[in-house]
Structure 1
Amino acid sequence: MAPPPPFRAEHIGSLKRPRHLIDARTKFDKGEVTREKLTKLEDEEVLRVVKLQQKLGFKAITDGEFRRHMFYDGFFDNLEGFTLFKDPNPDIFMDYVPDVAAFKALGFKGGETYLCTGKIKRTKPCYVPWFLALAKDVAPEEVKNIKIAMAAPEWYHLRHSGEYAYSHEVYANDAEYFADIAQAYREEIDALYEAGCRNIQIDDPLLAYFCAVSMLEGLKAVGDDPDKLLDSYIKLYNDCLATKKPDFSVGLHLCRGNFKDGVHFSEGGYDAIAVKLFNELNADFYYLEYDTPRAGGFAPLKELPKHKQVVLGLISSKLPKLEDKKEVIARIHEAAGYMDDPKLERIGISPQCGFASHIEGNLVTEADVEKKLALVAEIATEVFGTTVW
């Protein structure tokens, strides 16, 4: 059985968090609010945004990532073998990574990060509890449509390189380290499947960094081969997905940074990675940033195999200004031309990223978010028809 195609209208996971939820999480972190009180508030707010998504006609329902601080939360912080380091030495963060360079330029002092200090094992569920909580908010027949966003498997490796990402007393090389990460992903994906999940989105801004000249040159400057590193990450992905069931859909989301105040971190079209990204990495479809010229043109889409789909991120999640519907529709048809897809059978539409990859969110209000999502739904209905999403 082939995986179901992506829905023609989607959003990328995170929605604007209300201030009272942000304040409650801050107090929880300080020990001023109990876990029970925070969870009750999360439950209420998740139900609210579920109803919003349903009102607008979306099928791939998410919890808005309201139970997270950052988009990559939920996996590495739940694995045995990873240790949280607060205020680490900034030197362990690689300057060739575009967002690291940006943070350091702004006076970045290290913040906190996870490093592998022991043997990696998945000893408890990671995303499964969030999935089960969300499943209670939709009808039984809609549970299969729920979308859970997962962290990219190479997240900490690229940021720290093989030198700092893991203890060399535990793992002799990247291959050993990656093997245990992949095993943990396989176990979590299997557990999600058993819980009823059929739809995940892996959020990975790092792969888009391989489109940035600055990172490619930075890697070469320290003696690393960007092509070999990308190959190793693609192999890691495929190992993570090696045992997924045929009816389990995996979408891969790439963007170039989505930090507060509309900040992005890198530029460069998909041309440099399109062949490998679309043909060698075993995702079923791709959510691609396309709201500004920094992501390049649609020409790389000609490399997309006929059995794969793309969700075009043509609506900005960073800025409140509403896009012109006619211009967006024209761009959908332009992309279809490169894909040789005149019937638009392999295309969907979404915002280019989430509205709140970090807890504070972007320069949009909750009202702006609703207007943006309503526009996505309106365009999908006009372009693809009311029965296909």
Structure 2
Amino acid sequence: MLISRAEQIGSLKRPSVLLQKRLAFQQGKCSAEEMKACEDESIAAVVRMQLDLGLTTITDGEYRRTIFYDGFFEHLEGLKVVHDPPQDIFQSFNFVRYMPTTRIFTGKLERAGPLYGEAFDFLKKVAGPENLEKLKHTMGSPEWYHFRHGKYTFERTAYANDDEYFEDLTKIYQDEIADLYSRGCRRIQIDDPILTCFCDESYRQLMEQDGVDPEELFGTYIRVLNGCIQHKPADLIMGIHLCRGNVKPDRQPFTRGPYDRIAKRLFNDLNFDTYYLEYDTEQAGSFDPLRHLPPTKRVVLGLVSTKTPELEDPGVVRGRILEAAEVIARGEIPRSVEEALNQFSCCDRLSLSPQCGFASHSAGFDVVTHEDMVKKLTLVREVAQEVWGKV
């Protein structure tokens, strides 16, 4: 199986023609067919761009979504949209408390049919059968609404407790993952901003003030995530991206703090193959948590920022990759730096990527242009080639 050294996370900056068409669609000025045709054309173009750059993971840029977690919860049965939600249904430690709309669950969750299958089939079509192994599908995390609302996630008429709720939700994830696999998808990435909250001391204090044990809740979410991939085939690569909030450079990220608090449980208790970790700022801490990385797991280092047009120094990026490899080599299971880099194995231990997608929300950041994005992705590829000798 092809394992990449130069990865891109998932979302890519959307062309203005797509943003304009989506606005027209939302205003009722174009049809659903016209909207889909524009999406199709834009996706075909961005797939060609990724292939021309020589990247070995290809996505549709999340061009059919307005935000990274779209396409899943809103298509399930058993939930309702709440407009202008009262603030007392949000947990005090949730980082998105003030929202014009949210969702709560009023009945048993049901997946009436495939959620992302049609989108993946189109990606497969435009990429061509020769590139099937490179295709990666992204989706939001199962904890998203529970972390937002806690006991208000669902009405008691729907579920008696969290366990019942998560039992149904993990089954839905299992079914969706199985469907994507049946269509040829061999790479799936869960985008999870929630887990980094357990690194942040301020969030942990807020949880405790709200009567929530951070370690217990973290353990619950590990069990939920493991449940979602419980039946995954051996050749399906499951990755998890620990996002800290893809905000503008002049704003604070949603979470701060090193991975030390969660690293051991994250790498050993969570049954994912690949961890996409953001290391683009000092707020993420050192590479020291990587000493807990087992030989069977891999880390993709998010060293190239998607939040600024400034291009990183290739030498600095190379140096940081080697620094991470040295930490792994001196870790709980000692190995050589070469083994940590895994230069001579078919299963790489380290890879390189941007720290996040280029547009977690459809509009992205005005400060980063399409040309900036291409330069950043080119840098990722070139540094990976220099460090590992191939992408």
- TM-score for the superposition, normalised by structure 2: 0.93
Hey, what does 1:369 align to over in structure 2? 373
- Give the aligned residue type for 1:176: E
**CA 1:136–1:5: 2 relative to 1, 3 Å:** closer
The Cα shift of 1:334 comes to 0.4
Map 1:165-244; keep pairs closer than 5 Å: 165-244=153-232
Segments of structure 2 that go 5 or more residues without pairing to the other structure are 330-335, 343-348
Hey, what does 2:311 align to over in structure 1? 322
The Cα shift of 1:20 comes to 2.0
Q: Does 1:290 align with 2:279?
A: yes
Hey, what does 2:332 align to over in structure 1? none
The Cα shift of 1:342 comes to 1.3
Hey, what does 1:359 align to over in structure 2? 362
- Give the aligned residue type for 2:374: E
Hey, what does 1:274 align to over in structure 2? 263
d(CA) in 1 for partners of 2:197, 2:16? 32
The Cα shift of 1:141 comes to 2.6
**CA 1:261–1:292: 2 relative to 1, 3 Å:** closer
Hey, what does 1:60 align to over in structure 2? 57
SS of 1:349 mapped into structure 2: strand
The Cα shift of 1:88 comes to 1.5
Q: Does 1:331 align with 2:328?
A: no
The Cα shift of 1:250 comes to 0.3
- Give the aligned residue type for 2:233: K
**CA 1:262–1:155: 2 relative to 1, 3 Å:** farther
d(CA) in 2 for partners of 1:278, 1:379? 26
Say whether the 8 Å CA contact 2:303–2:354 is kept in structure 1.
Answer: yes
Q: Does 1:118 align with 2:107?
A: yes
The Cα shift of 1:213 comes to 0.8
Say whether the 8 Å CA contact 1:262–1:318 is kept in structure 2.
Answer: no
- Counterpart selection for 1:302 from 280, 287, 291: 291
Say whether the 8 Å CA contact 1:310–1:348 is kept in structure 2.
Answer: yes
The Cα shift of 1:68 comes to 0.3
- Counterpart selection for 1:349 from 335, 352, 362: 352
Hey, what does 1:86 align to over in structure 2? 83
The Cα shift of 1:260 comes to 4.9
RMSD in angstroms over aligned alpha carbons? Answer: 1.3
The Cα shift of 1:267 comes to 0.4
SS of 2:337 mapped into structure 1: coil
1:218-257 C-alpha deviation (Å, 9 max, x unpaired): 1100111110000000000111111111111101101210
Say whether the 8 Å CA contact 2:276–2:302 is kept in structure 1.
Answer: yes
The alignment-based identity, stated in percent, is 48
Hey, what does 2:240 align to over in structure 1? 252
Say whether the 8 Å CA contact 1:6–1:348 is kept in structure 2.
Answer: no
d(CA) in 2 for partners of 1:112, 1:47? 32
d(CA) in 2 for partners of 1:179, 1:221? 28
Say whether the 8 Å CA contact 2:92–2:210 is kept in structure 1.
Answer: no
- TM-score for the superposition, normalised by structure 1: 0.94
The Cα shift of 1:6 comes to 4.3
The Cα shift of 1:5 comes to 7.0
The Cα shift of 1:93 comes to 2.2
- Give the aligned residue type for 1:355: F
**CA 1:150–1:374: 2 relative to 1, 3 Å:** same
SS of 1:137 mapped into structure 2: helix
d(CA) in 2 for partners of 1:82, 1:211? 31
d(CA) in 1 for partners of 2:53, 2:290? 29
The Cα shift of 1:175 comes to 0.5
d(CA) in 2 for partners of 1:90, 1:371? 42
The Cα shift of 1:316 comes to 0.2
d(CA) in 2 for partners of 1:93, 1:311? 33
The Cα shift of 1:24 comes to 1.2
The Cα shift of 1:13 comes to 0.5
d(CA) in 2 for partners of 1:168, 1:260? 39
The Cα shift of 1:293 comes to 0.5
| Bigger mean CA offset, 87-96 vs 295-304 | 87-96
Say whether the 8 Å CA contact 2:2–2:133 is kept in structure 1.
Answer: no
1:17-70 C-alpha deviation (Å, 9 max, x unpaired): 112211211221222211111111111111111111011101211011111000
d(CA) in 2 for partners of 1:296, 1:6? 27
SS of 2:356 mapped into structure 1: coil
d(CA) in 2 for partners of 1:47, 1:5? 22
Hey, what does 1:73 align to over in structure 2? 70
Hey, what does 2:47 align to over in structure 1? 50
d(CA) in 1 for partners of 2:75, 2:130? 30
d(CA) in 2 for partners of 1:347, 1:151? 23
